[in-house]
Each structure stands twice: as C-alpha cells, then as structure tokens.
Structure 1
Amino acid sequence: MVRTLAGAYVEPESYDVTLTVVGKQGRPINPRQSQIYDAKTGAIHQPAFRNGVAKVRLPEGDWNLYTETLEKIDGKWHTTIADPALKVDGGDQQLTVDARQGRAAKITLDDPSAELQRGYSLGLTHGAWNSMWSTNGDVNTGFFVVPSRRPGLTYSLETVWLSKDASPSPYVYQLVNRRTDGLPEDPAYNVRQKDLAKVTATYRASGVAATGTPLAGPRDSDFPGSNLTPLVGDITLPGTLIHYRTPGLTYNSGLEVGSSLMFDGGRLAKRGETSEVWNAAVIGPSFLLPGGSRTGDKLTFSGVGLFSDGGAGRTGSDAAATGVATLAKDGQVLANADLAGCWIYEQEGCELRADLPSGRGSYTLTASMRRQVPHSALSTGVESVWTFPFATTAKEQPLPLTAVRYSPEGLDESNRAKPGSVTRLPIRIERNPGSAPVETESIRLEMSVDDGANWRKVPVARTGSGWSAMVPNPSTAGFVSLRAVVTGTAGTGLTQTIIRAYAIG
C-alpha cells in the first residue's frame, strides 16, 4: 500500500486589486512605504510596486492603503502621505493614489524669537494598526497630506521650535497637530503662544556641578510607551528651561545626567502656567514601574527603580551603580543576583529570579546599591530590606513592596541645606503597582551626619496621608543620611537607608 500525503487550501472570497501611485509631477512612482492594513485586526499586506503599479490579491472586506512617497523636486525633498479606504467586495478593482492632491502641512507660530527646527515626527493610529516615523526634513516646505475621511484614524504631527539667539535655548516649543477621524482636509497648523501650556522646569544639581539633558515627548494612549527625546542638548546644572506645549495632550518628561536617567509617568498639558523641579533630593527607590511579582513558585524582582528623584510619579536608575539583591525565606538564603548596568529600558541585567518552595513563608528581600559618579555627590548608597509573608499563587501577584519617598523643603538648586538650619521633611509611602493595600502601622526615622557610622532618632508626625519630620542640620558642611523603618499590617516591613540624602553648606 502506498500512501501519499495531500493538502488543500480553500481560498476565501478574494479579488485582484491593482494599485497605482502617481507622484507630484504626474508620473507613476514607487512609494517609499506602502501597507494595506485591516484596522480591526492589524493584519498587513505589503504590495510590491514596479513602475508605480502593484497587484495584490485580497480577501473581501474593508481595507486601508497607507502610502508614503518621497520625491526630489527642484533640489528639495517632498514627502506625501495618503490613507484611502479600500473596500474589496464583488470583483477585481483598481485604486490610484495621486500625490498631487496632497496639501501642505505648514506650521506657523506667532513668536518671532522662535525658530522651527529641522525634522518632524508623524504618528498615525487606526484601530489595531499604527505607524510612527521621524525625519530631518523641513516640514514647512516638504510635507504634504492627501485628505481622507476615516473614522477612528488619528493623525499627530510634532515639531520643535527653539529660541534663535541663545544656545542652549532657554525655551522650547513642542507643537503637536493632532487630528482625529482621518487625514485632515486642511493640515496647516497656526499656533498662538497664549493658547499653549507653559511649564517652567528647574533642573537641580546633586551637590556638584554637572550637565544634564532634558527629555520630553507627547504620549498618546494609542501608542504604548513614551516618546522621550532630547530637546536642546546639554544644559548646565542647576538650570532652567521653559517648555511650551500643545495643550490637551499628555507629555512624558525626563532628565539624563551622566549615567543616570529619570522620567515621569506623564502630565496632561493644560493651557496656562505651571512649574516642576527635576533631580531634586531625595534620590532613592520608587515604584512608578513594577518592582517584582510571584507567579506560582517563581519570583522576579527588578532593581531598576532605585535612583529616582524626589518628585512624585517618577522613576529612575543609574547604570553606574552596582550592588546585590538577596532573597531569603525563614532566614535561609534562596537566591542572590548582582545588580549592575541597571537601565530603565534594559531590565534583564538588573533582576533577581528565584524558584520558591511551595506554600506560605516569611520572606526577606534585600536590594543594596552604591555609586561613585562625577555627576552626583548624593545617594551614594541606597538599600531596601523588605519583609513580607507570601504564598504560592495561581496567577501573577505583585510583591508587597513599598518605598519611602522624601521631599525636603528649603534646599537650594544644588540640593543643599544651610548649615545649622532645620529642614522640614515631608514623607510619603509608594507601593509596588498592583500590590494589595497594606496599612502602615508605624514609621521610625533616623538621621546620620557621618555616612551611617552613627544614627539618631528624628521624631515623625502624621500629616494627612503622609508624615513629616523636622531634621536638625549640622552646623558644618557635609551630608545628611536617612534611615526609615516602616512596619505594616499583615507582617510586612521595610528598612530603607539612603547615604547622603542631601547636602549641607
């Protein structure tokens, strides 16, 4: 007996579609980029063009054709985008995209002291599909949009403007022309300064002179992650930068100083004036990002958030810091991991992973890191020791971790208090995202003026949702270190130590 394997494919109802792209000079051209996509599923077909023509076979249904052409005309580059609907139903068909129908997406601003920078970014999202790209071209002479009405399609064009005469710029404009339900009939964007959000950002130094790179970018809920980009290059710390932003959008902000990076979870820009402070003491552990979890009998801990500045809703890391994480159960060490090269976007090298015994137990997790860096004299040692009961979980369960966050008042722009002064120290607790609420039963605070060799208690008072302490600063130049012991309900606890929390003198 001879057996032969055979297979068959039953094609769904499909038709041939011929696509033609015509350039701005009236001749067929091959687009630089082209995608046929289904907005509901995100499915993509990439047609192959030859001499401006492509033929594809598509299942019947509702499709869209995104094209992007690039042409050099009279020595200047022209980019044209189009996104017409493509309904495949009842027979073969043809569709032509004509770049000559493109309209100029020119941006104007009523501040004569500001200058449009070369380069712009485009973001498109349509259901399950999206496209994002940037170019160094001139948006005002070389970008065109073929209008199309398309419910659910969002268009965002971002440009940056800087002051003409000062370097680095004392202010920056981030202007976003955001439209919904298709590519705009009139893509021009005329901006008035008085209609924008104005944010005055102060960037502190950490006890020593340094330079830093301010970062910012609009964050759209349709696009996961943040669009943090350098704005004006390096600035001297301490320093100030004024941000003008298109209101109604959420912007992520951040600061890169040497090997450290910190950023926030985003702020909605509103018309009017606000202010914010970056690189403010006390730099230490935070939980804007998840710090670890247990799934079944496997535990993961991430040490990337141990060097965040004192601002609420922020996280931070320093790739130059080194240390170790240790996990113990009922006093027996289960796992160790070296912590080094901790970078927000590359967490693999800054994790502890452990296989746990089944059932319930009392765990102690320690994360300790130190740094000696030219860009900071502060937070040279950061350590958290967490204790918590934990049991086998069927689903992923965040670890019940907390962080003590400080916002000392009255420090100067280098994070220094005056010798002999008293610093009011607001205190708050941050929790690992998603972890079960744990009530804080007590908090004890200690201070040291000799880098942790000796400690003395500082009284703490409850104030609303947090606590406050009055820290007596030494009469000579130096540093204040802080240690907090937090006791929570259900057997949880934290001892957190920050060496050189802020400077004196």
Structure 2
Amino acid sequence: MTVTDRHGTAAPAGTATLSSTDAVVAPGGRASTVLRIDRARLAARPGLHTAVVTARTAGGAVVSRTPVTFHVEPRSHDLTLTAVPLPGAPADADVLAFGVVVNLDDPSLFAEYVGVQPGEPVVLRVPAGRYSVLASLWDLGPESTRMGLTGDPEVVIGADTALVFDGAAARPVTASVDGVDTVPVTVGITYEQTGRRGLGWSDFAFAWGADAARGSVFAVPMTGPGVGTFSVHAAYGLTAPGDAPSPYLYDLIRPLGSGIPADPHYRVDGAEQARLARIDQRFHLLDIPGTHVSHKRYGFSPTGAYIAETILDNLPAQRTDYVTPGFAWLDEAFYPVGEAGFDMVTQEAQRTYAAGSRQSLVWVRQPMRTDWYDDPAVSYSGCRPSAPFRTRGMLHVELMDLTDQHQRYGCFPIGDESTSSLTLHRDGRLVGERRAPFGEFEIPQAAAEYRLRYDLDLSAVLPVSTRVTTAWTFRSAGPSGTGRAPLPLFALDYALPLDAANHPTAGTSVFTVRQAHGVPVQDVTAFRVWASLDDGATWQAVPVRQQDAASFAARLPVPAAGQAVSLRVKAEGAAGSGIDQTVIRAYRAG
C-alpha cells in the first residue's frame, strides 16, 4: 500500500493501515479489508491524497490495484460575505455582487465564485491563509445598469472573518480632457490578478452609451497584495456633447498600477494630450440603399486581456481619434450588405501606436473586392483567416469574399444569393475546384507554375462589386518534411478619389501592389489598368505612372451621373507572381 499527496510525495509511515493484510478468496468469492487513515499524521500537509491498495498472489503477481482518494481539511474558518449597494442605487434595483474568493498561495486549495445580495450573507468555509476577495457589484434598475469593483485583493484569514462588498464606499470612475468638452460613451475598470502559482483571474465594471454618460461605473479604493501580481486599468471613450456626429474621439487607457486610488478621476492635462497618438479616420458609406457605417475599437492590457471597447454608430465622414500610446488596439467597422439582416465587419489586427504619432485609417472605401490575409500582427478574433500556405503535398487557401483594404478580414458570409468558384491550375492543368472561398488541394512537391482563380457573383446581393474575378499566378515548390511554406501572392490596394458616399470626385487614383510575408520581395515589372463604363462589355486602357516600387497613379475616366465604373488591374513580378483582378461596377457616380 502507498499513500501520496497530489504532488506525488509519499505520506509519513503509519498514515494508512489495513485491518488485515492477507485473505483467502475462493473462486468467484469475495474478501474485504478496512483501510484506516490517520489524518493527524497529515495535519501539516492538508489537501488531496490518494492511497493505492495492491493485492497480489502468494507468488507476487498483481491481482488488483484499488485507489482511494481522500481529503485532509486544513485549519479552516468561516468567511462571511455581505453586500451593500452602490451610492444612489434605485430602491427598486436588483443588486447582486458577483464575487471571487481565491487562495493567493495556492489557488488549487480554494477558488470559488459566489453571488451575494444585500441582506443575505453568504458563509464560506475556507482554509486559513491569504485570499483575494473581490466582486463586481451590479445594480440593475429600470432605467440603467451600474457596476462597481469592490472588495480586497489580499485578506489574511486566521480566524472567522467578515467582509463587506461595500458599494457605499465606491467612487465614480470618470475622466476629463483639459480644454475639450467631452462626454463619456464608454467607461470601464478592470483588474487582473495572479497568486503565488497557477492561473490568474480578472473582473471588471463597464458601462456604455447612456449608462456611461450617467456615471455608472464605480470602484472602491484598494491596494495591491504582497504576493502574486495585481494590475488595474481604467478605460474611457470620450466624445463631443450633443446628438450630432462627434468630430473627435478620445480612446484612453489609464494604468493604475497595483491598486485603485481614493479618487479614480483621470484628468488628461496638456502634457498628457501631447503624448496621445492621433488617428485621422475617414468613414465611407457603401453605395447601397439604407446604408450606414459604425466603428468599434478594442483595447488590450500588456498581458493581452480585453480592457477597453468603444462603439459608435453615428459617424461623421471624418473624425480625429486620440488614443493612449503603448497599448494594443484593434479597430473594425461594420456596414450592411444587401438584405441579409446583419452587418458585415471589416477588421484589422492589433496595432500599437507611438506617443505623439499620427496615422490615418480609411474604412469601407470602394471597390469591395476579394483578397487574402497574412498579417503577422496579433489578433484574437475567431474571424481571422489563416494565411495561404502549402506543404509538400497540399495547398491551403482562405479568401475573403469582400474586403475594403488589404490585411483586413470579415466575419460574416455574404449569403446564399451569391455564387462563387475557386479553381487551382498547376502547369496549365486543373488540380481542383471548390464552390467556396477556401479549400485544400493535393499537389506534388516539385516546383511548378500555379494559377489560383476565384470568381464571385454578387449581382443578386449588391448594386456594386456585382462580379469580382481575381487570378493569382505564382511559382512554388513544396518544403521538405512536415514543414509549410507561404505562397508568393500579390494583392492590390485601391485609393480612389471617392467622397464619403463612395461617389467619384476629381483627383488621381493610386494603386498599390502588396506582397506576402515570408517570401522574397519581387520587383513589379508590369502594371496595367483598364476601365469600363458599360459593365465590362468594352474596356479602355488607362495610362499609369509609377510613383515608387509598389505604387502606381492613374486618372480614371469620368462617368456620367448614375453611371458605374468597372476596373481591371493587372500586376506582374520578376519572380513569376502576378495578380489580375476585375471588379464590375467598382463604384458609381452620384
């Protein structure tokens, strides 16, 4: 017989005994013995233990092994939890504290979620030790939802202990920008904590929209524990007052270190404003009936935790955003497609901006077109497609039916009204065809010339980008062993002179050739553009002028009112890669 704890350490001798150590068992019969545990011998080593009783024949052959698991309770005490509502809680609000109680030295010893309502104490039996006892306190009123962080990130429990999730002691989490009129559209505060060992945990208090404007997020002052880690971040989305589209947005993250101050107000003074990164945003409207566009930005802590989110629907054509530098941000925009009943999303990977930097983002600028994605930057989105690649015997590709810019991806399908075809040719011979924007094709390892083509018909869904055909050519040989290799694909970005309604204005169009990561960069040896004013029935070549190694400028023909412009763009590279993309009804004149 052996006795070990959950780490495999043997128990002291005499911890377990059997009432008898031998038995005579007739064929088909039974025998029993009583296992007795002397828990006093394990008083210094509480927790889970396992005794294994092994039965052998007189010759030593193993007949059976019987495990018996038991728990030795350490010195324990009652922890009584109560809750007090947040300041100004409506009398008819539903109030509930969602608490988490975790042993800081060994979370596996005790970690439990608990719900506590005012006037209804909850008693937990916990082993003596150091604990994090924190809660998000909610009050759900008829007109608003409010939240607050309460509790203590380190409580020493050496006797019966009472702790209050004291909403009355909480202070509002607020922010202001010197010299700028703002109202909050998002307010949040999040903590992340780890113990001496094991996985961490976190919680938050957040409000959006009208709740944020009413000051619905609170926090109790607290200091960090002496073991493990504890970090707190507050987040704010601030816009101009009033109902008109705000010309600016402040997306701010304030690191509070290992605690929450007595006054959690965040004042962004002139020096702090000078450090903010600036993003000049342009929002276009897809040229369809009932169009709209909305924008969302997520913020992440240094550990990758989600700590900020601002979403706005009432957008101007241009907006200036100011964001806290040094943190990862992820942007996305939403726009309608046909009558599918939902919005499409166009999303980027995470970006971190330098202090005082300035950059620009353009959203939903036509033409919408097919593309691939291989941005190496971090993205936790489940919508993110994998980069095209091949192995020694397989080629894998995932395409976006529609995107507004290279290295953006969508999340929702176009719908059953669209038709598509994905084909792969190797040295001029058809390898396979798929009726979807993704697929895997069996191919030999030897080097060859490939042509990947995707035909998308959206004429039953959209009045623009009604048909998009893209063909990629490239040379590729398979890697050895079990490795994978990226495909040397080209992509196109279009910067056309379109207004916010995606209608043409006077100006020069700029086309940029993008190349896959992880492969040698190729010189662009040929670049051509054609335009059509009759949905592709006839085409006219458009003169182009090379601006740099990857960009080309052209002046496209001017359409009559209501007339659509279709585009065909073709680029070729020195190492055999190329792209040939046709977008029927790329945009229309107003």
Residues of 1 paired with 2:264 and 2:424: CA distance? 58
Taking the TM superposition and a 5 Å limit, the aligned residue runs for 1:277-426 are 277-284=362-369, 285=371, 287=373, 288=375, 290-295=386-391, 297-304=393-400, 306-310=401-405, 314-316=408-410, 319-320=413-414, 322-339=419-436, 350-372=437-459, 377-388=463-474, 389-393=476-480, 394-408=482-496, 410-417=497-504, 423-426=507-510
Greater relative contact order (CA < 8 Å, ≥ 6 in sequence):
1
Are 2:567 and 1:497 equivalent residues in the alignment? no
Are 2:503 and 1:435 equivalent residues in the alignment? no
Are 2:153 and 1:84 equivalent residues in the alignment? yes
Q: Quick one: structure 1 residues 445 and 31, their matched pair in 2 at CA, closer, same or farther if it must change by over 3 Å?
A: same
Residues of 2 paired with 1:472 and 1:17: CA distance? 79
Q: How far 1:391 sits from its partner (Å)? A: 1.0
Report the RMSD for the aligned CA atoms in angstroms: 4.4
1:54 is aligned to 124
Residues of 1 paired with 2:267 and 2:222: CA distance? 21
Q: Quick one: structure 1 residues 42 and 212, their matched pair in 2 at CA, closer, same or farther if it must change by over 3 Å?
A: farther
Q: How far 1:10 sits from its partner (Å)? A: 9.2
Note the alpha carbon deviations across 1:180-209, whole angstroms, 9 max, x for none: 532223351233486545655332234456
Residue 176 of structure 2 aligns with an amino acid whose one-letter code is L
Gaps of 5+ in 1: 340-349
Q: Quick one: structure 1 residues 243 and 490, their matched pair in 2 at CA, closer, same or farther if it must change by over 3 Å?
A: closer
Instruction: Out of 266-275 and 284-293, give the one that drifted further.
Output: 266-275
1:154 is aligned to 231
Q: How far 1:144 sits from its partner (Å)? A: 2.0
Note the alpha carbon deviations across 1:326-379, whole angstroms, 9 max, x for none: 23333443433333xxxxxxxxxx5323344455544332222232477x6433
User: Which has more strand, going by share of residues?
Assistant: 1
Residues of 2 paired with 1:490 and 1:42: CA distance? 57
Residues of 1 paired with 2:75 and 2:174: CA distance? 41
Are the equivalent residues in 2 in contact too, given 1:42–1:129 (CA < 8 A)? Answer: no
Q: Quick one: structure 1 residues 480 and 20, their matched pair in 2 at CA, closer, same or farther if it must change by over 3 Å?
A: same
Residues of 2 paired with 1:175 and 1:383: CA distance? 39
Residues of 1 paired with 2:391 and 2:488: CA distance? 13
Note the alpha carbon deviations across 1:10-66, whole angstroms, 9 max, x for none: 9899775754434348xxx984131527799999932567943323469x9x97554
Are the equivalent residues in 1 in contact too, given 2:175–2:236 (CA < 8 A)? Answer: no
Q: Quick one: structure 1 residues 13 and 384, their matched pair in 2 at CA, closer, same or farther if it must change by over 3 Å?
A: farther
Are 2:544 and 1:464 equivalent residues in the alignment? no
Q: Quick one: structure 1 residues 353 and 274, their matched pair in 2 at CA, closer, same or farther if it must change by over 3 Å?
A: closer
Residues of 2 paired with 1:241 and 1:42: CA distance? 49
Instruction: Out of 465-474 and 92-101, give the one that drifted further.
Output: 92-101
Q: Quick one: structure 1 residues 157 and 469, their matched pair in 2 at CA, closer, same or farther if it must change by over 3 Å?
A: same
Are the equivalent residues in 2 in contact too, given 1:213–1:255 (CA < 8 A)? Answer: yes
Note the alpha carbon deviations across 1:458-477, whole angstroms, 9 max, x for none: 34443334232323414634
Q: Quick one: structure 1 residues 206 and 42, their matched pair in 2 at CA, closer, same or farther if it must change by over 3 Å?
A: farther
1:342 is aligned to none
> What secondary structure, in the 3-state scheme, does the structure 2 residue paired with 1:416 have?
coil
Q: Quick one: structure 1 residues 192 and 120, their matched pair in 2 at CA, closer, same or farther if it must change by over 3 Å?
A: closer
Residues of 1 paired with 2:165 and 2:560: CA distance? 71
Identity %: 17
Are 2:303 and 1:222 equivalent residues in the alignment? yes
Note the alpha carbon deviations across 1:407-462, whole angstroms, 9 max, x for none: 13x433333335xx6x5332222234x43233134232131213333334334443
1:67 corresponds, among 118, 121, 135, to 135
Gaps of 5+ in 2: 1-24, 26-54, 56-62, 86-94, 338-343, 376-383
1:346 is aligned to none
Q: How far 1:230 sits from its partner (Å)? A: 2.9
Note the alpha carbon deviations across 1:216-267, whole angstroms, 9 max, x for none: 2242253368966532x355xx734454545554433332110332233336
Aligned residues: 474
Q: How far 1:131 sits from its partner (Å)? A: 3.3
1:347 is aligned to none
Larger radius of gyration, structure 1 or 2? 2
2:347 is aligned to 263
Residues of 2 paired with 1:145 and 1:203: CA distance? 39
